[in-house]
A and B are shown apart, each in its own frame.
Chain A
């Protein structure tokens, strides 16, 4: 830890290792939070470029929260910008296309319902829930990622599950 104090993100090696460590999580976070239409990949890039520009001011252990906050703000700027054109609910996670030809009608209906139900979750719920269910992350990991307590993560995920099931039944 003591050694870290003297390290500088401006060094390309360290910068790359930080990128490798956090960029995927950041990308998934943005994707589940804001959907695909706002180009989460671009935002990840922008956030890391900003990290590079501020590399002398940000210490390595603050780098993660720096890129998360930056990317989140970039997204929020854009959603505010695009609000008129496109409502947030429409930017929900898009269905992944790996359909085999024999997709059943029923399944496709179920997907539609699920899609709508996911869109209805709060951002916080959706991020935690999808990271847990789809990315297979454990509560503890998510808690570390979002800088919240494990208990809060559990609450969000369980709440999301209940809400999803309720919505699907109602639809």
Chain B
């Protein structure tokens, strides 16, 4: 039998009796046995499986605790950051709202130097964020706009949408009253999804849902900017409402048709003169107590 095979079989503990004899007869038998004995000295340290298992299991359990240790504070920090970020995001994208009280007027500048004058008891909302791409304001009340050049400028009101192509215009929107007057340039008014274009001097008026034609406007800016309210064939109730807003008073009508038309004006700085201005032409008497004025027709 081949020496190599014998040794291989010896290594694999696979010798039968006959082969063992042959193996022992090999000249390097002693040498091999000697080597084999010598090798036993290199045996690895005893390995205690159950002890090691306990160590591993305890490591696993402590690791589990540790993992929650870092996870919890991490979640806390993340939560705080999320709250801060959403607050920041909320406040920066928040709409800017400007309101005026009774008898108050204000002029504000929009982010692109367009300016808006707000008449009394009005509300204007716009969003600073993305102003360049989306120039849009919401209006409830009356305001005069001087729009800087740029992309289209829109004024949203409950009644209609005003799109600005040019520069100066006035928007007036009260309960049953919607009026746009263009003083310079070109303005589009969308009402009931129909757009009307106004050239300078044109106006657009809707009272109680009816479009009313008006003659050309030849002033360069609305009169209220000069502390005067001017009306041309306006229903009396619109005049009264404007008066209430300008002076912060309450007016009661007695025996008076609130739909009759009124042409005239009143000033914003003197209530006695103003009340005469709106009562005398209609031959109406008035009595004034504190913040209430009663108008009466004899």
Contact = CB atoms under 8 A, between A and B. Distances in A.
Contacts of B63: 49, 53
B224 to A, nearest CB: 74
A57 interface: no
A116 to B, nearest CB: 12
Contacts of B208: none
Contacts of A107: 38
Consensus secondary structure, chain A interface: helix
Contact of A32 (B11, B34, B44, B47): B44
Contacts of A44: 52
Q: Is the interface of B mostly helix, strand, loop or mixed?
A: helix
Contact of A27 (B14, B47, B56, B60): B47
A68 interface: no
Contacts of A27: 44, 47, 52
B53 interface: yes
B27 interface: no
Contact of B52 (A36, A45, A115): A45
A138 interface: yes
B42 A118 contact: yes
Contacts of A164: 35
A32 B39 CA distance: 12
A36 B42 CA distance: 11
Interface string A50-64: 001100000000000
Interface residues of A, number: 44
A132 interface: yes
Contact of A134 (B43, B49, B53): B43
B295 interface: no
Contacts, number: 99
B49 A19 contact: yes
B41 interface: yes
Interface centre among A130, A133, A165 (most CB of B within 10 A): A133
Given A19-B49, A45-B52, A134 B12 contact: no
B52 A111 contact: no
A28 B44 contact: yes
Interface string A96-132: 1010000000010011001100100000000000101
B41 A98 contact: yes
B38 A111 contact: yes
Nearest to B36: A133
A16 interface: yes
A22 to B, nearest CB: 10
B249 to A, nearest CB: 77
Nearest to A154: B8
Contact of A23 (B4, B31, B53): B53
Interface string B1-21: 000100110011110000000
The CB with the most chain A CB atoms within 10 A, among B31, B52, B59, is that of B52
Contacts of A53: 63
24 contacts: A12-B57, A16-B53, A16-B57, A19-B49, A23-B53, A41-B47, A44-B52, A45-B56, A96-B41, A96-B44, A96-B45, A107-B38, A110-B34, A110-B38, A111-B41, A114-B38, A133-B39, A135-B44, A139-B11, A161-B32, A164-B35, A165-B31, A165-B35, A168-B35
Given A32-B44, A48-B56, A134-B40, 9 more contacts: A27-B44, A45-B56, A93-B44, A118-B42, A132-B12, A133-B36, A134-B44, A139-B11, A168-B35
CB-CB nearest 8 A-B residue pairs = A31-B44, A134-B43, A93-B42, A139-B12, A48-B56, A52-B60, A19-B53, A133-B39
